[in-house]
Amino acid sequence: MAPLTRSATRGQPVEGVVKRNQAAAAAKRSRKAQPRPKAAAIPFGDNNASEMETNSPTPAQRKRKLAQAEQEQTPGRPTEKMPRYVAALEKARFAKNMRIPSHKFLVPPRLYAVLNGPKPTPEVVVNHGWNGNKLSDNVMLIDPNTMLRGTRAQVTDCVIGKVGFKSGFHVWAIIWPEDMRGTNPVVGVAEKTIVPQMSGYVSMLGLLADSYGWDLRKNEVLHETFSHKVPAVSRRAYPTLFGSKPFEAPKKIYCILDMDEGYLAFATDHSYLGVAFRGLQGKTLYPAVSSVWGNSTIAIHYIGGLPAEAPSLFSQCMRTLRGMRDANQIPKLIPNLPPYIQGMLYFQQ
């Protein structure tokens, strides 16, 4: 067989390719061998110092390059392909001035899996809209995912979703303008037995045992408030992530329902607000809102969910370690723990 004389990829002579590669390597070696010119001395206070060109980077430039390289290599950094709310949560989580919170405020890994996963189809979003068969005569649907409350006074109306959740991990967004909330705006979950309307202006979700609600005006989470004589038993301040600072819920609120772990949590575009309720296993809960404001429009948008799964041994170990003490003390409790494992305990990696 005759020897090959041409490149199999581009049809060029093999000898020419070899010579060209050798010449390029020699040129590269010669460039490396040349001494780099020293940076010109910049007199202190010279206004024209920024215009002087130099081949050697300044310490500030080297610091910026190292920071950029570290940012690109850090797992979980926000990218342009991430949804806006995922990037916002990631940005807040990696903020330099943010203190590592205690374990009850750590973002669940399954939330990132849902927010960064495939978007639901329009059919799925419509199927997870408001339930038009369980409305009061003071409420109508503009579209399958948007409700409009009428102007009747001295009543509170409640609307629930079409689909109830008994297992799995589910996330949906409630879009409720701030100027359409009134005195008792409540978001949360409820069982199918909840009534669509009550007399008076009340925080309807959380009034009885069949619902759980977050009052956006009073910043309290409510459950079975009607049957408890002591308010502290059935209501408490929420969220507590911001301490004594007043919190104003934005237009869009994310509801996170984990029926495997049995908890309901809330988040915004910029913050994960923590768990509001626990012990929800065994129930079938529907997304719900209750409103007293006339001509208010409230929309629901299903973001996604994950099927039920048995908790892994790894997640159980992390939950146990996080529950021992404050998450800031983990490096002190286990000084020999690798930094990567410590980051996983913080949900940072």
Q: What is the pLDDT of residue 25?
A: 80
Mean pLDDT calculated for residue range 109-118: 85
Q: What is the pLDDT of residue 303?
A: 95
Residues 6+ apart with CB under 8 A from 287: 128, 160, 161, 172, 174, 189, 255, 300
> CA nearest 306: which of 115, 175, 123, 77?
115
Residues 6+ apart with CB under 8 A from 271: 89, 92, 239, 241
Whether the CB-CB separation of 178 and 251 falls below 8 Å is answered with: yes
For the ranges 77-81, 106-110, 312-316, the one whose mean pLDDT is highest: 106-110
- Domain residue ranges in the chain: 107-306, 312-345
User: For residue 338, what are its two tokens?
Assistant: 């690798």
CA 296 from chain centre, in angstroms, equals 27
pLDDT (tens digit, 9 = 90+) per residue, 183-211?
999 999 999 999 999 999 999 999 988 99
Question: What is the average pLDDT score of the chain?
Answer: 76
Q: What is the pLDDT of residue 245?
A: 78
Mean pLDDT calculated for residue range 307-325: 63
User: Distance (Å, rounded) from C-alpha 78 to C-alpha 71?
Assistant: 10
Mean pLDDT calculated for residue range 291-313: 87
Lateral strand order in the sheet of 186-190: 197-199, 155-160, 286-291, 186-190, 211-215, 220-222, 235-237
pLDDT (tens digit, 9 = 90+) per residue, 36-59?
554 444 333 333 433 334 455 676
Least confident of 52-56, 127-131, 337-341: 52-56
Q: Is the pLDDT of residue 1 over 70?
A: no
107 or 237, higher pLDDT: 237
> Where residue 77 falls among pLDDT bands split at 50, 70, 90?
very low
pLDDT (tens digit, 9 = 90+) per residue, 57-70?
676 776 676 666 65
User: For residue 226, what are its two tokens?
Assistant: 């009607």
Q: Is the pLDDT of residue 98 over 50?
A: no
User: Distance (Å, rounded) from C-alpha 290 to C-alpha 292?
Assistant: 7
Q: Hey, what amino acid is at 256?
A: I
Q: How far apart are the first and last CA of the chain?
A: 57
User: For residue 298, what are its two tokens?
Assistant: 């409230």
Q: What is the pLDDT of residue 118?
A: 87
For the ranges 2-16, 151-165, 266-280, the one whose mean pLDDT is highest: 151-165
pLDDT (tens digit, 9 = 90+) per residue, 209-268?
899 999 999 999 999 887 665 555 578 899 887 777 788 999 999 999 999 889 999 999
CATH of segment(s) 107-306 = 2.60.120.920
User: For residue 163, what are its two tokens?
Assistant: 């689909």
pTM, whole model, 2 decimals? Answer: 0.62
> CA nearest 190: which of 248, 264, 122, 139?
264
